[in-house]
Amino acid sequence: MKKLLSLLLALTMVFALAACGGNSAPAAEEPAAEAPAADAPAADAPAAEAPAAAEVKVGFILLHDENSTYDKNFLDAAVASCEKMGVEYVVKSNIPEGQECYDAAAELVDAGCNLVFADSFGHESYMIQAAKDFPEVQFCHATGTKAHTEGLANYHNAFASIYEGRYLAGVAAGMKLNEMIDAGEFTADEAKIGYVGAFPYAEVKSGYTSFFLGVRSVCPSVTMEVTFTNSWYDEALEKEGATRLINDGCKLISQHADSMGAPTACENAGVPDVSYNGSTIAACPNTFIVSSRIDWSPYYEYMISCVQNGEAIATDWCGTIETGSVVLTDVNTAVAAEGTQDAIDEVKAKLVAGELHVFDTSTWTVGGETLTEYMADVDDMGDFQPETNVIADGYFNESGEGFRSAPYFDIDIDGITNIDA
Amino acid sequence: MNNAARNPLFHVARRGAVPAWKAWLIRGGAILLSLVACGLITTVVTGENPLAVYVTVFNGSFGTVRKFWTLLQNVAMLLCVALAVTPAFKMRFWNIGGEGQVLIGGLAAAACMICLRDSLPNAAIIALMIVSSIAAGAVWGGIPAFFKAKWNTNETLFTLMMNYVATQLVAYFCVVWESPKGSGQIGVINQSTELGWLPVIGGQRYLLNVLVVLVVLVFVYVYLNYTKHGYEISVVGESERTARYVGIKVEKVIIRTMLLSGAICGLTGLLLVGSTNHTLTTTIAAGRGFTVVMVSWLAKFNPIWMVATSFLLVFLERGAGEISTNFGLNQSFADILTGVILFFIIGSEFFINYRLCFRKTAEKED
C-alpha cells in the first residue's frame, strides 16, 4: 500500500516538475504576447499588406455565446468582417449587463484593442463609463439609445431598420396564410397569428407591428396575439409562449426572443414559423418559412475602416436594406407559398425606392383613429417625456434620419392583442 | 466454501488521525493529478497545448493589474457570502438561501437610491442604504429560522424557496423602476448624480469591497472561535440535545445566528449594488449563494481557509473565461475543466479519511 502511494506521489512529482518547467518559460514571454492565440496568425497576415492604415484591434463583448441566435448573428459577422478586413480581434462572451461589462471593456483595452463593440442593450451604461475612462479608444454599441445625447466623441450607437425586414417576412407569412385559407384549412376570419416577444419594449413593439403590417398587406383579415416572456433568452418560456399561442388558435407564429424555443414549439406542433436572427431550417425543416436578420458586417467594416483611416465614426448609424444590413434568409420553398420570393423582391424594391413606407399611417389605426402626430421619447434622457413628433408625410418615421437608430415605435395599434394584459 | 474464501482485491478502511502534512500532501497531489487529467482532456478533445491553456488560466487572474483587481473583487464577494452562511452551517442549519438574502439586501439598497434621491442628501441615503440592506437580509434569513425554531420546518427547503421569492420580487421591481419603458431593466442608478454610490477609496473601484470583507472575515473568525455565541453555535451543531442539557436556548441560537447570516448576505447585496454595479438585476448574486456551499465545506467551515477556497474557485472561473476568449473555445469547455479539478479536490478528502487496503496474502494461496 505504502509503496503504491509513494509511487503515485513520485509520479505526480515528476508530472509536477514537468509542468512547472514548461510553465515558467512561456510565462516569461507572456506579458508581451497577450494576444489571442488561435485566430491571431491568420488575421495578422493580411494586415501587414496595408501598412498605410492604422493598426486596428477590435474587441467584441457578447451577452451570451454562440448558443444564442442573437449573439451568434453578431459573432458570425464579427469573424467574417475582421477576417475580410485583415484585423486582429478578441471576443469576450457571456458578459452580463453589469460592472462585468466595464471590466471586460477595460481588459480589452489593456489587451491592445482600440475599437470595442458590445452587443446588448444593458451594456450601454458601462460602455459609456468605459468610453469616458479611455478617450483614445472607440466604443460602439448596438441597440443603444444614448450616444446622440451623451456627447462623447468616442461613443457610438448602431442599429438597422430591421422593421423593413420584418415587414418583408410578414409578406411571406401573409402569403402562407392565404395559401392555407385557399386550401380550406380555415376561413379568412379565422386567420390569426401569434408572436412571442421578449419585453414590451419599443424595439420589440416596432418589430411585431411591422411584421403584422406586412402580413396584413397581403391577408387583410388577419389579427395577431402577442405574449411576452420578459427575458431576452429563456428557451422554456419561449417554447411555452408559442405553445400557448398555438393552443389559442394561432395559425402561424413569429418571435422576437433569442432562443430556439418558439421555432421548436412550432416544429413540434406543425405550425409554420417566421424566424428571426437567422435560418432555423436545420432544426425546423417542416415549418420554417423565412427569417429576417440584421447583418452586422456592413457596420463592422464601416467602423473598422473609420479607425483605420482616422475618421470619425457616426454617432448614430442606422443600416438599411440598401446598405445590406437588413437581410432575409433563403425562403424555405418546402413550406412557403408559391411565388413568395418574387413577392418579397417586389415589395423590397418599393421599400428601397421609397414608394412604400412600413408605418404608413393609412394602413393602421389606434382606437379606430388614424394618427397624424405622435410624440416619441427619442432623446431618452430618463425623463420618459416624449418630445419629438415622428409622424410626417403620412408615415411614422422609425429610426429616421436626424432622430436615432434604435427603434422608438411603441404604439399599440388595432388588430394586435396582448394576451398577457 | 467459496464465499468464505472470497477475498476482494481491495477494501476500504477508515484511517485514524492523519498528520496535517500528510493530508496536505494528498491534497496537493490531487490538484497536480487533476491538472494532468485536464491536460490530457484538453489535448485529446481540442488539440490545444495544455501548458498554453494553463498559462492562459493563470493570466486570467494575474495577467494585468486590472485582472488582479477583478480577481480580488470576485474573491471578496464570494468570501463575503461564504462568511455569511458559515455560522449557520456550523450550527448544522443548511442555509442555501444566500442567493435570496443577497438579492433582498441589494433590493433594499436600490430602493433607497431610487426612492430617496430627490429628498435626502447623499450621506443620509448611504446611511439608510447600509441599515436597510443589512436589515432586509437579516429578515430574509430570520424568517426560515423562526419557522425552524418554532415548528421545526425543514430549513433547506425553506431557505431555497425564499430564493425564488426574492428573485421574483427583484424582477417585479425591475419592471417598476425600468428605464427606458418596457425594457425591464433599471440601468445604472443615478448615473449623473452618483447619489447613493459608495465612495471609491484610493482611486481603486474595488478596494472598499475588499476592505469591508476583510473586516467581516476578522469578525466572523473571532465570533466563531472566541465568543460565547460562537461556542453555543458549535455545541448546537454537535448535538441539540447536549445543548439543551447544558441550558443553551437552542431556538434563540438558531434565530440569532440566522439573523447574523442574513445580515452579512444583505451587506454583500449592498456592496454589489451600491459599490460595484450601481444597478439591480435578478442575476446580481451570480449563483454565489450556492457556490459558497462548496467554499465553506471545502474549508471545513474555517473562515481563514475559506479565503483559499474562494480564491481557488474564482481563480478557476476567471481562468475559464480567459480560455474561452483566447482559444475560441466555448465557456462550457472551461467549466468541464473546473469540474474535473473540483472532482479531484473533493475526491482527495476521501483518501484523507479512508485508505484502500489491497489483497496481500490471498494471491499466494491461489
pLDDT single digits (tens) A363-383: 999 999 999 889 888 876 666
| pLDDT of amino acid A377 | 81
Is the pLDDT reported for residue B365 higher than 80? no
Fold equal for A40-142 and A162-296+308-418:
yes
The pLDDT of residue A7 is above 70: no
Does A15 contact B330 at a Cβ distance shorter than 8 Å? no
Q: All 3 cell numbers of residue B139?
A: 429578515
> Which pLDDT band, with edges at 50, 70 and 90, does B54 fall under?
confident
Average pLDDT of the segment spanning B21-45: 87
pLDDT digits (tens, 9 = 90+) for B243-286: 999 999 999 999 999 999 999 999 999 999 999 999 999 989 98
Grid cell, residue A327, equals: 437581410
Best B49, B59, B326 residue to mutate vs chain A (most A CBs within 10 Å): B326
Asked if the model's pLDDT at residue B50 lies above 70, the reply is yes
Is the model's pLDDT at A40 over the cut of 80?
no
Q: What is the spatial distance between Cα A180 and Cα B200, in angstroms, rounded to a whole number?
A: 64
pLDDT for the residue A10:
46
Pick the residue of B49, B77, B181, B314 with the most A CBs within 10 A to test the interface with A by mutation. Answer: B181
CB burial class (10 A; 0-12, 13-18, 19+) of residue A341? Answer: middle
Q: Say what percent of chain B tops pLDDT 90.
A: 59
Q: What is the pLDDT of residues A93-114, one digit of tens each?
A: 989 888 899 999 999 999 999 9
Res B3: pLDDT: 53
Set of chain B residues whose Cβ sits within 8 Å of the Cβ of A90: 325-326
By Cβ distance, the residue of A9, A96, A384 closest to B29 is A9
**pLDDT score at A381:** 66
Please judge whether A92 and B321 are an interchain contact, meaning their C-beta atoms are less than 8 angstroms apart: yes
Whether B8 and chain A come into contact, CB under 8 Å, resolves to no
pLDDT exceeds cutoff 90 at B208: yes
The mean of the pLDDT values for chain A is 85
Mean pLDDT for the stretch of residues A178-203? 93
User: Residue A52: its pLDDT value, please?
Assistant: 54
CA–CA dist A61, A105 (Å, integer): 7
What average pLDDT does range B176-199 have in this prediction? 86
Given a cut of 90, whether residue A8 has pLDDT beyond it is no
Give the range among A19-23, B346-350, B357-361, B362-366 with minimum mean pLDDT: A19-23
Asked if the C-beta of B67 comes within 8 angstroms of chain A's C-beta atoms, the answer is: yes
Segment holding A202, helix H or strand E:
helix A202-218
Q: Rounded to an integer, what distance in angstroms lies between the CA atom of residue A389 and that of residue A409?
A: 12
Domain borders along chain B are 69-310
pLDDT at B319 over 80: yes
A141 strand-pairing partners: A118, A157
Note the CATH architecture for domain A162-296+308-418. 3-Layer(aba) Sandwich (3.40)
CA–CA distance from B243 to each of A127, A207, B221, B226, B300 (Å)?
A: 55, 64, 22, 18, 22
Q: Does A409 touch chain B (CB under 8 A)?
A: no
- Per-residue model confidence (pLDDT) at position A334: 92
Q: Is the dihedral of CA B104, B110, B114, B118 positive or negative?
A: positive
Interchain CB contact of A1 with B (< 8 Å)? yes
- Domain borders along chain A are 40-142, 162-296+308-418
What is the value of ipTM here, to two decimals? 0.82
**Interface contact A145-B180, CB threshold 8 A:** yes
Q: What is the mean pLDDT of residues A219-241?
A: 92
Q: Closest-CA residue in chain B for A99?
A: B277
Which of 182-241 (B) contact A at CB < 8 A? 182-185, 187-188, 191
Q: How confident is the model at residue A30 (pLDDT cuts 50, 70, 90)?
A: very low
pLDDT digits (tens, 9 = 90+) for A257-271: 888 899 999 999 999
- Which pLDDT belongs to residue B35? 86
Mutate to test the interface with A, among B21, B32, B35, B71 (most CBs of A within 10 A): B32
Residue A389 phi/psi, 5-degree rounding, is -80, 125
Average pLDDT for A138-153: 91
Does the domain at A40-142 match CATH 3.40.50.2300? Answer given as yes
Question: Within an 8 Å CB–CB cutoff, is residue A358 touching chain B?
Answer: no
Confidence grade of residue A26 (pLDDT, cut at 50, 70, 90): very low
Q: Mapped to the 3 state alphabet, what secondary structure does A44-68 carry?
A: HHHHCCCCCCCCCEEEEECCCCCCC
Q: Give me the residues of B, 156-175, that contact A with CB < 8 A.
A: 171, 175
Q: Is the pLDDT of residue B38 over 90?
A: no
